[in-house]
Amino acid sequence: MIKSGRILWFYFILVLASIIVGLASASAGATYTANPDNYLATLKILEPGTYLRLLPGEYKNGLPIHYLRGTAQAPITISGPERGPRAVFVARPGHNTISIINSSYISIRNLDLDGRRLPVDGVKCEGHADWAHHITLEGLRVLGHGNNQQTVGISTKCPAWGWIIRNNVIEGAGTGLYLGNSDGRAPFIAGLIEHNLVIDTLGYNLQIKHQQSRPILPEIPNGRNATIIRHNVFSKANGGSSQKMARPNVLIGHWPLMGSGADDRYLVYGNFFYQNPHESLFQGEGNIALYNNLFVNHFGDAIRIQPHNDTARVISVFYNTVIANGSGITLSRREHDPAYPQLVTANMVFASSRIHDAFLEGNLTGELNEASDFLTRPFAPLGEMNLAPADGNVRKHAKGNVRFDIYPDAGLDFDGDLHGKDGIGAYALGKAKPRWAPMLEIKPAPLKQ
């Protein structure tokens, strides 16, 4: 009898434990639905693995992501509807609309941010002494944030790492994305910025600031990391500032000059850079691989690799197609230092002033008006523009070009097709028509190889 009672008690404990674990799992994986009246209360109870579904409507009290912590296996997701009417967050005086403080493993999706032309940011990671890591921003539409050039669509002002910024539209902001801080003490590390449309900003479409020595924080990445900027559309065709306030479409600063992060690199590929009446399309320093991009600027310069807060270090510029009314590619080279190899090769450049101060090997260059001899329809309007090579004239210039297998997706062209042997420019030879005609829209994902 005693033995039988112990067995029953043992099974009772097992059943009770399974019920508790089940309840905990249900809570952790729960889905909550909220509206503009009750969403703030729901935010406070989110735990790892929970999903907050926001109904369509106008949300007037911001979205505070403060001290919310998911996990790598169970992130917290906050999302508006994927289709149909949207959840719209409207700006308030004195408050950034989505405010992020000391939070991690959070996914924010499918929201509209209406800035109402107030001097507040759309998304801001706040506080120099704070941090935010593994934040995903996806499917946001950020409009009306053009009060002045310092009003930003998406901004980080604290150490931030593991961010994914994907499939967002930022239109008419003062600055589209401003990642880091002007003093270099808020590093943006190991980020992925892909398939965004950033257009008609007053200042930068995107700026990632230079970095001082890395702070010591739990979970901050060590070793060699990369920030990837790929398959975005960056345009300043309209509305950009001029003279002293003019800014490139994209500017990326250097990594820490020594210690943790000194060997990090930027991988910038598959992007469409379009028009800037007052500045270059791209400017960078530090360690950069720039490849498989399209650059079109009928007003001025395309690419400048040059000092901003420090100097260019390890530089690879290859497989780009460039049309520019000013300088095509400018590389301000370091004095010879084998620790920092720099090369510019396998590009197609048609510009008033072609390639400056660069190791010149294997590039096809010509005057701006010669682009039509080598590209299919280089001066057609958006949606009809075709920068694929006119095969017969180009192939003889592409013999013996090197391959860059050390870089992710370097063997794929702008569309995601295989470059094949003797690649030159952003498109594979033999391609009559690109899969996607460059337009001011989110670039479609490449086909899987």
Question: Yes or no: is domain 32-395 CATH 1.25.40?
Answer: no
SS (H, E, C) 43-86: HCCCCCCCEEEECCEEECCCEEEECCECCCCCCEEEECCCCCCC
Retrieve residue 81's tokens: 């509807």
Angle at 225 between CA 334 and CA 189, to 5 degrees: 95
**Rounded-to-integer distance, Cα 196 and Cα 77, Å:** 20
Given phi > 0 = left and psi -120 to 50 = alpha, else beta, which region is 62? left
Structure tokens at 227: 């920030």
Whole-angstrom Cα distance, residue 151 to residue 403? 42
Please answer whether residues 78 and 100 qualify as being in contact, where contact means their C-beta atoms are separated by less than 8 angstroms.
Answer: no
First to last CA, the chain: 67
Cβ neighbors of 151 (< 8 A, separation 6 or more) are 115, 118, 119, 120, 121, 145, 173, 174, 175
How many residues are listed for the chain in this entry?
Answer: 449
Instruction: State phi, psi for 257 to the nearest 5 degrees.
Output: -75, -15
The amino acid occupying position 40 is L
Provide the 10 A C-beta neighbour count for residue 246.
17
The candidate with the shortest Cα–Cα distance to 269, out of 175, 345, 328, 193, is 193
Strand partners, 399: none
CA 40 – CA 43 distance, rounded (Å): 5
pLDDT truncated to tens, each residue of the chain (449 aa)? 444 444 444 443 443 344 333 334 434 589 999 999 999 999 999 999 999 999 999 999 999 999 999 999 999 999 999 999 999 999 999 999 999 999 999 999 999 999 999 999 999 998 776 899 999 999 999 999 999 999 999 999 999 999 999 999 999 999 999 999 999 999 999 999 999 999 999 999 999 999 999 999 999 998 899 999 999 999 999 989 999 999 999 999 999 999 999 999 999 999 999 999 999 999 999 999 999 999 999 999 999 998 888 888 999 999 999 999 999 999 886 665 778 888 899 999 999 887 776 656 789 999 999 999 999 999 999 999 999 998 777 877 766 666 678 899 999 999 999 987 778 999 998 888 899 999 999 999 986 64
The pairing of strands 364-366 and 348-356 is parallel
Q: State the Cα–Cα distance between residues 210 and 251, nearest whole angstrom.
A: 10
Place of tokens 């508006």: 80
- Phi then psi for residue 275, to 5 deg, are 60, 130
Buried b (16+ CB within 10 A) or exposed e, 173-184: bbbbbbbbbeeb
CA dihedral 403, 400, 287, 138 (to 10 degrees): -50
Segments making up each domain of the chain, as ranges: 32-395
Question: How far is residue 280 CA from its own chain's centroid?
Answer: 18
Q: What is the pTM of this model?
A: 0.92
Give DSSP secondary structure letters for 388-422.
EE-HHHHHTT-TT----TTSTTTTB-TTS-B--TT
Whether 285 contacts 301, CB under 8 Å: no
* pLDDT recorded at residue 7: 41
Place of tokens 């400056």: 356
Please identify which residue in the block is written with the tokens 């559309």. 233
CA–CA gap between residue 44 and residue 428 (Å, rounded):
51
Which amino acid appears at position 24 of this protein? A
What pLDDT shows up at residue 13?
43
Chain-centroid distance, C-alpha 100: 18
Q: What are phi and psi of 374, to 5 degrees?
A: -120, -20
Hunting for tokens 């706040």 — which residue is that?
126
Distance of alpha carbon 213 from alpha carbon 259, whole angstroms: 7
**What pLDDT is recorded for position 341?**
85
Cα(38)–Cα(446) distance, integer angstroms = 40
Task: Check: CB of residue 155 under 8 Å from CB of residue 179.
Answer: yes
CB contact at 8 A, 114 and 85: no
Q: CA 330, CA 280: separation in Å to the nearest integer? A: 10
